Amino acid sequence: MVNLFKRGPASDRAAKRYPEALADLLTLGKPAEDATYDGWAARLKDHALDLIRMVLDDDLNARKEKDPAVWAPLHALRTLGVLGPAEAAEPLLACLAWDDEWGRTVLPEVYAGIGAPAVPLLQDYLADASRNEWARIYAADCLAAIAKAHADVKDEIVAFLTAFLDRSAADANQVEEAVTTFAIYNLAHLGARSAYDAIKRAYAENRVDPQVIGLDDVEVDLGMRPAPDYDAAPKPPDEPGVRLSLRCKACGRERSYLFPKVYCDLGTVRRKEESPKYNPIIIPQRVVCQKCGAVDQYEIGGMGQVALLADLLMKVEPELEKLRRPDQRVQYTEFTTRWGSMHPLAAIERYEREIARYPNDSSLHVGFGQVLRFLGRGDEAEAEQRKALELDPVNPEAWVNLAQMAAERGAVAEARELWQKVLALGLDSRLPVDQRELLTAAAREALDDLRHGRKIEVMGPPLVHGAAARAALAGAPRATRRQPARPPVAPPASPPPVAATMRSAPKVGRNEPCPCGSGKKYKHCHGRPGQQPR
């Protein structure tokens, strides 16, 4: 037991502002975790107003941490928690807005000591939208603490918090959502089964941040379902794909999303100067906010960062790999274009600049369309392929890409017609023999897939990684990662200033796994015509 009555020199200038009985609080310093205040409460039971004044003393609260007097307000606050004077309920509301851990850990204990007189004050504070977000959350915590300590007011508090969930402003903004979420958290920990319908309604209407507490967690707390067996061997989730939490930059809400594929661009990781502009984590589809509908206005949320860290740990700890199936893992790759290693968003900017300079170069439109396609911007991607065909009606890659995109969106008749054009092009064009053979083989295989209703393979990344990315992940020197570019090949008209380049890679059999990491056979992914790096 810590001796809280040990007295040091009471020479602090603040001692003149308080009765001598409180002077020792100025010299106690930081309290031990097991410190108790029953003795102080008995000693200072007639000094409640002085204790309140000490709690709110601006001079003491502004002291440096090494000054023992900076802890005097905390000692006074915890003493008030034991005494529980009703007159402390209103002035101590100011402590809810303090930016330290006292609001989260100490104030609920203090208000539990005060009890019923504090309930209406805390209810009004919680309902006041002009108050600070976390101050309101702490007010809800204090109400829950009172409910646990005083059975005579528990029903009143539960009824208030339950009705609070359906207030008119419950879905107004991210702050109201956060306050609602913690009100639910407290109702769950109070075991308030009577609040379940209102809680379930809030989840159904998407007014809760499930990253804080999910409906399943609520049902466990309310005794409506068994608690998870945390001692059981962990297993991968049943769902396919990569789950990440994203925070919308437009409305501030954070939600969980499931994506078929998520990539990490190793080139961006290596090029540190790009990191502030381009996030190496790439989600190859449009992301629409579940709350406000904003498109691609997101950042990785807190739980998303945790998920990415866990995924990275699986790369270095083989034992952790059993926690995720391969399709639930981030794919580490290095994206390349005709201009070398490049983030897809940087590639978009580069293509836009080059097309502005050379608008009649069909190959630029084809390459631009492929990057757009990979990023889930299908309408724009198709428009670029069609623009390429306006400029060069026999461009084989553009026809192949349009056929693949039609199949991917389920337009079977259109896909069949486009593949027929690819087949005709392969049979009748003046392309080199090997290209004609590749085109005709791909077209016949695709037409056979469509005829038999086989699953249409979704395109993998249009920019490949191969051995180069694996070497980068392993920390190999740059010289061992980057292969010499091919000699420049000038397009037939309006050549861009930078020649097309391609990383060399070992030849891949058509029935072997594609080196892009998609999990598909090479012939169904980058082995198809039009899937080479651009």
pLDDT of residue 354: 96
pLDDT in tens, 229-285: 888 888 888 899 999 999 999 999 999 999 999 999 999 988 876 667 889 999 999
Residue 493, pLDDT > 50, answer no
pLDDT of residue 3: 56
Nearby residues of 211 by Cβ (< 8 Å), 6 or more positions away: 245, 254, 255, 256, 301, 302, 303
Task: Tell me the mean pLDDT in the region 81-89.
Answer: 97
Q: Which residues lie below 8 Å from residue 294, measured CB to CB, with a gap of 6+?
A: 248, 249, 250, 251, 288
Q: What pLDDT, on the 0 to 100 scale, is given for residue 234?
A: 81
* Average of per-residue pLDDT across 434-453: 86
CA distances from 168 to 132, 171, 173, 442, 483 (A): 19, 8, 12, 59, 62
Predicted confidence at residue 489, as pLDDT, reads 34
Determine the pLDDT at residue 92.
97
Give the mean model confidence (pLDDT) for residues 205-228.
Answer: 95
Higher pLDDT, 180 or 312: 180
pLDDT of residue 226: 94
495 CB-contact burial (10 Å; exposed 0-12 / middle 13-18 / buried 19+)? middle
**Beta partners for residue 246, in sequence order:** 255, 300
**Higher-pLDDT residue of 288, 461:** 288
Among the listed residues 511, 412, 414, the one whose alpha carbon sits nearest the alpha carbon of residue 456:
412
Q: Residue 318 — very low, low, confident or very high, per pLDDT cuts 50/70/90?
A: confident
* Mean of pLDDT values over 351-361: 96
Instruction: For residues 436 and 428, give the distance between their C-alpha atoms in angstroms, rounded to a whole number.
Output: 9
Assess contact for 29 and 66: CB atoms under 8 A.
Answer: no
In angstroms, the Cα distances linking 278 to 205, 268, 293, 343 are 34, 7, 22, 7
pLDDT at 233: 81
Question: Domains of the chain (ranges plus CATH)?
Answer: 13-221 (1.25.10), 242-333 (no CATH), 358-524 (1.25.40.10)
pLDDT-above-90 percentage for the chain: 61
Give the model's pLDDT for residue 103. 67
Question: What integer is the mean pLDDT of 331-359?
Answer: 93
pLDDT at position 457, please? Answer: 60
